Structure 1
Amino acid sequence: MSVVKMLLTDSLLSSVPEPIKRINDTKLSGFHARVGKTQNDKKRKIALYLNYRFGGIKGKQRNYHLGYFGECDLKDVRKEVESLKGRVALGEDVYETKQLSLKQQFIEDTSPTVEELAQEFIERDIKVNRKDVDPVMRMFKKDILPFIGNYKLKEITRRDILNKVLDPIKDRGSNTQANKTLSILKQMFDFGVERDLMQGNPVSTVKKKSVGALKSREPEH
């Protein structure tokens, strides 16, 4: 006997006989428990799932992981199953929704900051392709990193860069420096896109005239 059909309860799952590997709930179709082997603490790890088919008879078979018995309240799990089944009935592939959410969360958790991108950009591009790196280093140290260095690449916007970096440079009368900074930022964010660290360059469409016209004799600040 490895698969049985019984009402999933706390008392049942607290002491599942060794031969049982899976218990299908009698009340909610698709809701089931997968029972692992007895561990050193003499308990069996029990995973809770919702099994459903999405897209008709020939559709995809899904196993939606709900959690582990003992780590979540069984009553709450039942409510979640009812909600999930309702969403599936309305045409939502809840398994796919969850996978996309987990992927997005992973991206958010691991998204580097502007400062981390800048360090890699300087090491792998600026120091490799430029003879004089000091002006660029000063640019990052003075006008860029103090203001947007802590921003994650996933959240930095064109407006953030304009308001916090480029506009202040322009406001102090350094139009030439503002445009040089814009140029470096475009290069850096393009580098980030090429390295698959971000989806797009937030300043790719910003024009020099939006920052300030170049003046060949204008002193840098």
Structure 2
Amino acid sequence: MSTVKLLISDTSLSKVPEQIKRINDTKLSGFHARIGKVSEDNRSKIALYLNYRIGGSGGKQRNYLLGYHGERDLKEVRKEVESLKGRIAAGEDVYETKRIAQRELFIEDNSPTLAKLANEFLTRYVDVNRKDPKEVRRMFVKDVLPTVGEMKLKDITRRDVIEKVLDPITDRSSGTQANKTLSILKQMFDFGVDRDLLQGNPITTVKRKYWRL
């Protein structure tokens, strides 16, 4: 791969010789452009990156994608690079920050209902690992799905589970059943976390026999 060092600008990126595959910026260290293959319209897609190491010279190397030439204003990109370099100098791994933010946004935009998680949990976990899957399914049908089944996973709180599921069970003097339901729901939410359907288990701190607020 042929690499050159130039000031990255609209002019320098408009006519890149075919043999050049990377341009390192002369002013902002780590800022570079990667030139892709020529497409049918006789143009190359040019990706803009910031390369850096987190944790010193022996630390992990990162390539932070800034966008693509033609889709972003280069002046704005250069400003972003300067800002990112300041955050990196302060010890932040901006690549990881972005990855976490994108993951949270994906979960926010694609959050399924509890009913969808329950169906996957029952099918993939309960039916496979429990000796009494029918009893667990009856639990969901009777006490869980009618009250919180249509709620989005991202919106469910500890209080929702306590007030809408556990308290009604205890109100009919079924403390043992409430404990069983709590245990199963904790397993279900952990199952959802493992599959990136929600960020964390909303009832992980709820203790047996102590759910009333």
- Short-chain TM bin: 0.7 to 0.9
Please give the alpha-carbon distance, in whole angstroms, between the structure 1 residues aligned to 2:17 and 2:210: 75
Superposition map of 1:188-203 within 5 A: 188-193=185-190, 196-197=194-195, 199-200=200-201, 202=203
- Greater shift, 145-154 or 21-30, is seen at 145-154
User: What's the counterpart of residue 130 of structure 1?
Assistant: 132
User: What's the counterpart of residue 9 of structure 2?
Assistant: 9
Q: CA RMSD in A?
A: 3.3
- Mapped pair 1:187 → 2:158: no
User: What's the counterpart of residue 57 of structure 1?
Assistant: 57
Indicate the structure (1 or 2) with the bigger Cα radius of gyration. Answer: 1
State whether residues 115 and 145 of structure 2, in contact with CA within 8 Å, keep that contact through their aligned partners in structure 1. Answer: yes
Q: Percent identity?
A: 53
Deviation at 1:160, TM superposition (A): 1.4
User: What's the counterpart of residue 33 of structure 1?
Assistant: 33
Q: TM-score, normalised by structure 1?
A: 0.73
Q: Secondary structure at the match of 1:150?
A: coil
State whether residues 25 and 31 of structure 2, in contact with CA within 8 Å, keep that contact through their aligned partners in structure 1. Answer: yes
Unaligned runs of at least 5 residues, structure 2: none
Please give the alpha-carbon distance, in whole angstroms, between the structure 1 residues aligned to 2:35 and 2:210: 66
State whether residues 48 and 66 of structure 1, in contact with CA within 8 Å, keep that contact through their aligned partners in structure 2. Answer: yes
Please give the alpha-carbon distance, in whole angstroms, between the structure 2 residues aligned to 1:144 and 1:5: 62
Please give the alpha-carbon distance, in whole angstroms, between the structure 1 residues aligned to 2:27 and 2:134: 73
- Greater shift, 82-91 or 143-152, is seen at 143-152
Report the residue type matching 1:208 in the other structure.
K
Report the residue type matching 2:187 in the other structure.
D
Deviation at 1:163, TM superposition (A): 2.3
Structure 2 CA distance for partners of 1:55 and 1:148, relative to 1, 3 Å = same
Q: How many residues are aligned here?
A: 206
* 1:114-150 deviation line (CA, Å, top 9, x unaligned): 21232244445369633864x953x534542233223
Please give the alpha-carbon distance, in whole angstroms, between the structure 2 residues aligned to 1:104 and 1:206: 27
Structure 2 CA distance for partners of 1:45 and 1:136, relative to 1, 3 Å = closer
Q: Secondary structure at the match of 1:53?
A: strand
Superposition map of 1:82-101 within 5 A: 82-101=82-101
Q: TM-score, normalised by structure 2?
A: 0.76
Superposition map of 1:102-181 within 5 A: 102-106=102-106, 112-123=112-123, 125=126, 129-130=131-132, 133=135, 137=138, 139-153=139-153, 156-168=156-168, 173-176=171-174, 180-181=177-178
Please give the alpha-carbon distance, in whole angstroms, between the structure 1 residues aligned to 2:52 and 2:133: 62
* 1:55-105 deviation line (CA, Å, top 9, x unaligned): 333333322111111222212211110100111111222223233334444
Q: Secondary structure at the match of 1:66?
A: strand
* 1:34-54 deviation line (CA, Å, top 9, x unaligned): 111211111101010112233
